């Protein structure tokens, strides 16, 4: 076999592998014998016709195409080995040239991209000083009040911030459409959970009042049969409710439960809020400093990222997002209805983050390589145990299901991250 490798752009290139002589002749012979076993000829049982007769009726091209299948895998790995290529996704295959004497197979191969590091040591990043202000504490206490507020019946008209208990049904050109009906639905006015314009038109209505509300679905609405169309919703308001905030006093503090914490007085609750906000702001300052540092390190590196790596990361991000919705009791379809976004729009918004995540990993991986960072057997075992504890699984089962090389890769990434974080003061 003779191989040549030509790198194109975004870490994708052409691997040409030529097979000739006895190797190609043997491949064709093997291919013919394989095809002959299933060849049907009048007067003979399937695969039982004399090979000499079969050969006369079988085209050279058919045999050679089958022979390519016989040698393609060996040809690919021979080329990868000779040129020391780290293939990261399944290649495409084409026949560049094919005769009875030789064949040249062309593989389009995407390889791990080369990363040219910039400066990644010697930075000094100052963390922002943490300060918890009185207004921050009062806002958090107000959030607790909102959380424990009661919905009480209101006399009068629907106003922003109220909750209207409604029946509704949507119509297009006088015909009710699927998914456009609800009964005794509690809609908070101003929440933005319905189609733009719907909630605003409820303002001013009273209990037991009926009204036709006309809205236009967004052009990018996920249901194509509704996107951009005008609809009429027949709405009945059953009742109007408003939030009644509890008094901010010791009795209220006793009602609050937060992470198994109990409070006897408002001062106890206030102190807890101060401690919590201090921790949150400290974590935020740490994260902002780390983000600033990573931006400097990553922006200074040069790498052409293959599209397939970004696409794989994006797929993972979308799947994680769908799983989080499920954990919150929502379906992805329901989320799309509430927001008026389709999956294409969501993927577009996540696309930049997906690219940045891939680049960060590639840069950290190269730093680990440059610093000769290795993972010891003890560190690997400890990480497996951590994973087992996290998911409450048997350690042996975890080792069966998770590739040790993937765990080592993550640990090297983490070591590289810890190295550059030393710049934060």
- Number of neighbouring beta carbons within 10 Å of residue 302: 11
- The answer to whether residue 130 is domain-embedded is no
Is residue 47 scored above 70 in pLDDT?
no
Same-domain pairing of 317 and 414: yes
Q: Could you tell me if residue 134 is inside a domain?
A: no
Tens digit of pLDDT for each residue in 238-277?
A: 999 999 999 999 999 999 988 888 999 999 999 999 999 9
Which domain CATH number covers 391? Answer: 1.10.3120.10
- Examine residue 176 and state whether it is found in any structural domain, yes or no: yes
Is the same domain home to 53 and 171?
no
Q: How far apart are CA 62 and CA 225, in angstroms?
A: 48
Number of helices (H) and strands (E), helices first, in the chain? 12, 9
Banded pLDDT at 4 (limits 50, 70, 90): very high
**Residue 415 sits in the same domain as residue 290:** yes
Both tokens of residue 215?
Answer: 């809205």
Give the confidence band of 49 by pLDDT, cuts at 50, 70, 90. Answer: low
234 and 284 both lie in a single domain: no
One domain for residues 301 and 240: no
Give the residue numbers spanning the domain of 178. 150-244
Domain endpoint, select from 110, 139, 161: 110
d(CA 173, CA 182): 19
Residues 87, 20 within the same domain: yes
Q: Are residues 25 and 70 in the same domain?
A: yes
CATH code, 95: 3.30.70.1050
Would 119 be classed as within a structural domain? no
Q: Span 180-197, mean pLDDT? A: 91
* Least confident among 43-57, 194-208, 218-232, 364-378: 43-57
3-state SS of the chain: helix, strand, coil percent to 5?
50, 20, 30
Q: What CATH number is associated with residue 175?
A: 3.10.50.40
What's the pLDDT score for residue 343? 85
Check residue 178 and give its pLDDT: 87
Give the model confidence (pLDDT) of 62-85 as tens digits.
989 999 999 999 999 999 999 999
The confidence score (pLDDT) of residue 68 equals 94
Same domain, 166 and 106: no
Q: What is the pLDDT of residues 112-147, one digit of tens each?
A: 999 999 999 988 899 999 999 999 999 999 999 999
Query: To the nearest whole number, what is the mean pLDDT of the chain?
Result: 91
For residue 266, being part of any structural domain is answered with no
Percent of the chain at pLDDT above 70? 97
- Looking at the fold, whether 309 and 376 belong to one and the same domain comes out as yes
Say if 377 falls within a structural domain: yes
Q: Which residues contact 382 (CB under 8 A, 6 or more apart)?
A: none
307 and 403 part of one domain: yes
Residue 262 is assigned to a structural domain of this protein: no
pTM: 0.67
Average pLDDT over residues 331-343: 78
For the chain, how many residues are written? 425
Q: Which of 219, 244, 269 is the last residue of a domain?
A: 244
pLDDT of 424 higher than 80: yes
Domain count, the chain: 3
> Domain check: are 169 and 290 in the same one?
no
Position 117 in a domain? no
Average pLDDT over residues 1-13: 92
> Looking at the structure, do residues 298 and 393 belong to the same domain, yes or no?
yes
What are the strands, taking DSSP E only, across 226-310?
A: 230-244
Vertex 63: Cα angle to 62 and 69 (nearest 5): 95
């Amino acid at each position: 076999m003779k191989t040549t490798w030509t790198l194109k752009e975004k870490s994708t290139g052409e691997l040409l592998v030529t097979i000739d002589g006895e190797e190609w002749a043997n491949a064709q012979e093997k291919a013919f014998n394989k095809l002959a076993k299933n060849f049907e000829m009048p007067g003979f049982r399937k695969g039982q016709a004399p090979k000499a007769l079969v050969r006369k009726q079988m085209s050279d091209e058919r045999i050679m195409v089958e022979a390519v299948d016989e040698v393609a895998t060996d040809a690919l790995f021979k080329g990868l080995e000779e040129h020391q290529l780290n293939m990261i996704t399944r290649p495409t295959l084409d026949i560049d040239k094919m005769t009875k004497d030789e064949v040249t197979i062309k593989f389009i191969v995407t390889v791990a991209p080369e990363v040219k590091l910039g400066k990644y040591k010697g930075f000094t990043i100052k963390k922002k000083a943490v300060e918890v202000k009185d207004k921050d504490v009062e806002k958090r206490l107000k959030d607790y009040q909102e959380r424990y507020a009661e919905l009480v019946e209101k006399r009068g008209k629907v106003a922003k911030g109220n909750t209207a208990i409604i029946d509704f049904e949507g119509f297009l050109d006088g015909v009710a459409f699927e998914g456009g009906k609800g009964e005794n639905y509690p809609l908070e006015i101003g929440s933005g959970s319905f189609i733009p314009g719907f909630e605003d038109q409820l303002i001013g209505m009273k209990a037991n009042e009926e009204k036709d509300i006309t809205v236009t679905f967004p052009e990018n609405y996920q249901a194509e049969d509704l996107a951009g169309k005008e609809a009429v919703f027949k709405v009945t308001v059953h009742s109007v409710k408003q939030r009644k905030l509890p008094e901010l006093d010791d009795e209220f503090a006793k009602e609050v439960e937060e992470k198994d914490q109990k409070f006897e007085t408002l001062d106890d609750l206030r102190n807890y809020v101060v401690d919590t906000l201090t921790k949150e702001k400290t974590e935020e300052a740490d994260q902002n400093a780390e983000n600033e540092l990573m931006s400097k390190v990553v922006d200074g590196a040069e790498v052409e990222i293959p599209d397939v790596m970004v696409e794989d990361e994006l797929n993972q991000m979308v799947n994680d997002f769908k799983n989080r919705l499920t954990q919150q009791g929502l379906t992805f379809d329901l989320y799309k209805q509430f927001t008026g976004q389709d999956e294409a729009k969501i993927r577009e918004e996540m696309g930049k983050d997906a690219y940045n995540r891939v680049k960060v990993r590639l840069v950290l991986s190269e730093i680990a390589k440059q610093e000769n960072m290795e993972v010891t057997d003890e560190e690997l075992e400890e990480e497996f145990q951590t994973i087992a504890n996290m998911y409450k699984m048997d350690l042996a089962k975890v080792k069966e299901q998770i590739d040790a090389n993937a765990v080592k890769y993550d640990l090297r990434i983490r070591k590289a991250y810890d190295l550059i974080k030393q710049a934060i003061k």
